[in-house]
A and B are shown apart, each in its own frame.
Chain A
Amino acid sequence: MENHDEILAEFILEAREIIDRLDVDFVRLEEDPSEQALVGNIFRGLHTLKGSSGFFSLKRLEKLSHAGESLLGKIRAGQAELDFDKSTRLLEMNDILRQIIDGVEANHVEPAGDDQELINALLGLSQSEKISPAQVSASEVEPELPEVAVQEDSMEVLEPPEIAFASTPGQEVVVPVKVNPEVLDKLMNIASEMVLARNRLLPFSQQSSDKLFTSAVRSIDLLTLELQERMMKMRMQPIYHIWDKFPRLVRDVAAECGKKVRLLQEGAETELDRILLDSIRDPLVHLIRNSIDHSIESPEIRLDKGKSELAYLVLRAAHQNGTVIVEVIDDGAGIDYERVRQRAISRGLISVEKAHTLNHKELIDLIFLPGFSTRETVTNLSGRGVGMDVVKNNIENIGGSIEITSVPNEGTHVKLKIPLTLAILPTLFVRCADEIFLIPQNRILELVRFAPNEPNNGIEDFYGTPTFRLRDKLIPLLFLNEQLHLTSTPLKPKQKLFIAVLNFNGTLFGLVVEEVLNIQDIVIKPLGDLLRDMSNFAGATIMGNGEVALILDVDGIARQSGLIERLQTNPIRQEERYVAPVVEMISVLLFEIPGLHKIALPLDAIDHIIKLDSAEIQQNGNREVVYFNEQLMDLVRLDKYVSGGAREAQAHHARAPVLTCQYRDRLYGLVVKQVTDIIEVPAKLHELSTPQRGLNGCIIYNDQVINVLDLEEVLIMHNIQEESNEYPQVIDVYLPN
């Protein structure tokens, strides 16, 4: 009994394959009725199906496939031609065959149903082109087709070895093994666990001095690597697994819209991860329906436009730089940009003034907005407003992107960029309240370390929404700890913020995390139903140390935060926002000279701060010099040259701080009394109403006046002094940099 079940399961699998194949072949045959090889294929497929269903005594299946086979026999013999009517009936038959198979799988018996009408129609069609319409009956059709009968015999001879292949060892033909996808997933799971176990083993072997042990570990290491690579390859499947359904889809949709479409497929052998393949099926179906329903014109209009009556729809897939490019191209009317504009206005998605400034690319972006449809009426094909936004989301969820270009009257070109595999995803590791979370890297536009020198951390409140300035844009902020209801230390003034700028349906927002760790490729673990209701998380992964880390669902967080609603009620108008004057900050060294406190010099003007023993100071004429860094350095006593500097008696400190600097290739040391601080101040100086000697101006810092040294002036005075012994009152020299 169990054996019977097993064989039946195999039969069901085979029957499904045949039926799927038939779908494709019927449509192809309809396009090119002269293709004899196709007729043969279809005929053989149906015949196998009929034979096997007889074996399992599935009467309905047998009768129906027999009727189809009879009609095809006629076509093959050239006695009838496959036209639209016939292929519609044959496809109908195919659908019923599929239903029967589904029923057999579920209940192990054929579902009840009466196919007599269809059988009669099929047989009727096979008779219709004969001179004398014979009675419609299966038994009568057969004798009239001696050719078919011969074929049947030969087929039956062929079949037994096919079934008995397992019992004939030594045969050279290797039959591919069909594996249940679940088994594959489990194997994959074990392979990645193996990698983790290996990771735990590696440190031991590095510490060990046992040669045998280390070499054993090394071979485990290599084998695990190979195992992982092979597992990855095993998951890859050619894209024709989903494309196979499309000829039928295109035919049905085109028939429903009254359009004539020919589907061309290029690169059907392009391989993709199995899971990805599943998740691009629905978006592709949607795009194809869209193309046929919206872009491609009816045959009359096409003729009017001077195009061929038959429209082309091209599906193209190819590998490109580690991604898979899938394109859907049609030669229809393309996107009606004016209609998109009007629609966006009438749906209130954008303002009228704004709408007229949009270029084509921006108009295409509107198509991706939720609730957008240019259809006036709802058809069962499109126009329900669940459309391109869902397609876009689906594609982005698997780390892909979508790009549409359209030329009026030449067609639409949709390009999907899909990663090769979903199983491995580069993610950013962030820390929040001592927990590690992962953000998919493809969602991150940029990472910002935000460190404004302001008490409110540079966060501005915009109608209750915290925002920050990123270049010329106001970006709303979400705090990850708040979103996840984690307790963490409140923000300290002037604390640096780590912000990941993310994109949610075109709205940028910043997610504030406590710490950014690293970017790493991770293996996504299926969570199943585990976190079904946790919209904040997209999945989980197991880290190298065996711990589980959660992957954040960027969309879920954005949606749950209510940010989007808040922004809709109070949209941030980037162009109207207040522009703060850019305050450039510079670092200055704060020091004292005799008689004057708080003198500053830009930090980048100073090379070193050294302490100088008075014993090291030597005389060179009337100059004080020091041998420093194998160079002769002029000592400049600032108090001599700066207004307000008091000439203290030569009771200089034994070890005075000296600031060394370069000016016109010469080394100078500025003798000061004390170095006090390094501070950040606005670069803009307050000009002094009466110029002060040796000073550039002043800076107000914490309500205190800080004098900024005019180094150039001081050094010029220092050098003039050598020659003329005369101190000019004020020298203000303009020297181009």
Chain B
Amino acid sequence: MMERSFLVFHVGAYSLGVPAEELIEVNRNLGYTKVPGSPKMIRGILNLRGLLMPAVDMGAYLDIPDSTCQSFSIILKVQENHIALMVDSIGDIMGFHIQELVLPPTHLSGQFQEAIEGAFKLPNGLLIILDTKAISRNAQNPAGAISVGLQSLSATP
């Protein structure tokens, strides 16, 4: 049984997870600089000890309207790129057996398939595991980014 750890965070009413091994650190109230002309999902650029990286507004990326995504940023290193995910709040690091991952329903349209790797069942709902490579890809190449919606997911928070 392979166990993997995930950092749990919240955007709006959703519980989301990213692989813990990609986590660099979690920060509060990092300042960022807006980039005029960038798509909504890019909050701006932030500076983490001399490293510039895009700050992704997860609320906008996942199209979750009741989120502010103001104070917490999760710094990830996905492959060679650093990105910062702006989220509402931070949860724990949780371990799951990889076999328990429920793949997203196949009837999800292409873009949702891209954003979501799958979900784990929690006692009180689902933990949706995000595809960080897709986030990084979209953040690096924002012009081609498409906002993905979670509303259409059957998962109820």
Docked Cα-Cα span, A547 to B49, in Å, equals 11
Given contacts A190-B50, A192-B50, A533-B143, contact A548 B45 (CB under 8 A): yes
Q: Measured between C-beta atoms, what is the minimum distance from B61 to chain A in Å?
A: 16
Is A546 positioned at the interface, with any CB of B under 8 Å from its CB? Answer: yes
Question: Are B49 and A550 neighbours in the complex by a CB distance under 8 Å?
Answer: no
- Please tell me which stretch of B2-10, B21-29, B34-42, B109-117 contacts chain A, meaning at least 4 of its Cβ atoms lie within 8 angstroms of it: B34-42
Is A435 positioned at the interface, with any CB of B under 8 Å from its CB? Answer: yes
Docked Cα-Cα span, A547 to B45, in Å, equals 9
Residues of B within 8 Å of A533, CB to CB, are 141-144
Interface size class of A (residues with CB under 8 A): 20 to 34
Is A484 positioned at the interface, with any CB of B under 8 Å from its CB? Answer: yes
**Partner among B32, B33, B51, B142 whose Cβ is within 8 Å of the Cβ of A189:** B51
Residues of B within 8 Å of A52, CB to CB, are none
Q: Measured between C-beta atoms, what is the minimum distance from A182 to chain B in Å?
A: 10
Residues of B within 8 Å of A526, CB to CB, are 52
Docked Cα-Cα span, A548 to B50, in Å, equals 10
Question: Are B50 and A530 neighbours in the complex by a CB distance under 8 Å?
Answer: no
Residues of A within 8 Å of B54, CB to CB, are 530
Q: Measured between C-beta atoms, what is the minimum distance from B55 to chain A in Å?
A: 10
Is A127 positioned at the interface, with any CB of B under 8 Å from its CB? Answer: no
**Partner among B36, B51, B53, B81 whose Cβ is within 8 Å of the Cβ of A484:** B36
Is B70 positioned at the interface, with any CB of A under 8 Å from its CB? Answer: no
Which residue of chain A has its CB nearest to the CB of B137? Answer: A529
Is A486 positioned at the interface, with any CB of B under 8 Å from its CB? Answer: yes
Q: Measured between C-beta atoms, what is the minimum distance from B43 to chain A in Å?
A: 12
Question: Are A536 and B36 neighbours in the complex by a CB distance under 8 Å?
Answer: yes
Docked Cα-Cα span, A529 to B49, in Å, equals 19
Question: Are B50 and A527 neighbours in the complex by a CB distance under 8 Å?
Answer: no
Question: Are A530 and B53 neighbours in the complex by a CB distance under 8 Å?
Answer: yes
Docked Cα-Cα span, A296 to B47, in Å, equals 52
Given contacts A192-B50, A547-B31, contact A530 B36 (CB under 8 A): no
Is A532 positioned at the interface, with any CB of B under 8 Å from its CB? Answer: yes
Residues of B within 8 Å of A486, CB to CB, are 36
Residues of B within 8 Å of A550, CB to CB, are 33, 35, 45
Docked Cα-Cα span, A730 to B109, in Å, equals 96
Question: Are B47 and A547 neighbours in the complex by a CB distance under 8 Å?
Answer: yes
Question: Are B51 and A534 neighbours in the complex by a CB distance under 8 Å?
Answer: no
Question: Are B141 and A485 neighbours in the complex by a CB distance under 8 Å?
Answer: no
**Partner among B38, B52, B141 whose Cβ is within 8 Å of the Cβ of A540:** B52
1/0 per residue, CB under 8 A from B, across A211-229: the answer is: 0000000000000000000
Docked Cα-Cα span, A540 to B44, in Å, equals 12
Interface set, chain B 95-153, CB cutoff 8 A to A: 140-144
Q: Measured between C-beta atoms, what is the minimum distance from B32 to chain A in Å?
A: 7
Interface size class of B (residues with CB under 8 A): 20 to 34
Question: Are B50 and A542 neighbours in the complex by a CB distance under 8 Å?
Answer: yes
Q: Measured between C-beta atoms, what is the minimum distance from A551 to chain B in Å?
A: 12
Greatest chain A CB density within 10 A among B31, B32, B33, B53 is at B33
Is B20 positioned at the interface, with any CB of A under 8 Å from its CB? Answer: no
Given contacts A533-B141, A542-B50, contact A548 B36 (CB under 8 A): no
Residues of A within 8 Å of B36, CB to CB, are 435, 484-486, 536
Interface set, chain A 381-420, CB cutoff 8 A to B: none
Docked Cα-Cα span, A679 to B33, in Å, equals 44
Q: Measured between C-beta atoms, what is the minimum distance from B145 to chain A in Å?
A: 10
Interface set, chain A 479-493, CB cutoff 8 A to B: 484-486
Docked Cα-Cα span, A528 to B81, in Å, equals 9
Docked Cα-Cα span, A189 to B33, in Å, equals 19
1/0 per residue, CB under 8 A from B, across A183-216: the answer is: 0000001101100100000000000000000000
Residues of A within 8 Å of B31, CB to CB, are 546-547
Question: Are B47 and A529 neighbours in the complex by a CB distance under 8 Å?
Answer: no
Given contacts A192-B50, A530-B54, contact A548 B32 (CB under 8 A): yes
Which residue of chain B has its CB nearest to the CB of A193? Answer: B50
Q: Measured between C-beta atoms, what is the minimum distance from B136 to chain A in Å?
A: 10
Is A368 positioned at the interface, with any CB of B under 8 Å from its CB? Answer: no
Is B46 positioned at the interface, with any CB of A under 8 Å from its CB? Answer: yes
Which residue of chain A has its CB nearest to the CB of B83? Answer: A530
Is A468 positioned at the interface, with any CB of B under 8 Å from its CB? Answer: no
Question: Are A435 and B50 neighbours in the complex by a CB distance under 8 Å?
Answer: no
Q: Measured between C-beta atoms, what is the minimum distance from A340 to chain B in Å?
A: 39
Greatest chain A CB density within 10 A among B38, B44, B45, B141 is at B45
Greatest chain B CB density within 10 A among A196, A530, A531, A542 is at A530
Question: Are B45 and A540 neighbours in the complex by a CB distance under 8 Å?
Answer: yes
Given contacts A435-B34, A536-B36, contact A530 B49 (CB under 8 A): no
Docked Cα-Cα span, A542 to B35, in Å, equals 14
Given contacts A529-B140, A529-B141, A533-B143, contact A547 B35 (CB under 8 A): no
Residues of A within 8 Å of B51, CB to CB, are 189
Given contacts A190-B50, A542-B47, contact A532 B35 (CB under 8 A): no
Question: Are A189 and B45 neighbours in the complex by a CB distance under 8 Å?
Answer: no
Greatest chain B CB density within 10 A among A486, A549, A550 is at A550
Docked Cα-Cα span, A527 to B81, in Å, equals 11
Is A537 positioned at the interface, with any CB of B under 8 Å from its CB? Answer: yes
Q: Which 7 A-B pairs have the closest CB atoms?
A: A193-B50, A484-B36, A533-B143, A548-B33, A529-B140, A189-B50, A548-B45
Chain A residues near B (Cβ < 8 Å): 189-190, 192-193, 196, 435, 484-486, 525-534, 536-537, 540, 542, 546-550
A-B contact pairs, 29 of them (CB 8 A): A189-B51, A190-B50, A484-B37, A485-B37, A526-B52, A527-B52, A528-B81, A528-B140, A529-B81, A529-B140, A530-B52, A530-B140, A532-B140, A533-B141, A533-B142, A533-B143, A533-B144, A534-B38, A534-B142, A540-B33, A540-B45, A540-B52, A542-B50, A546-B31, A547-B33, A548-B44, A548-B46, A550-B33, A550-B35
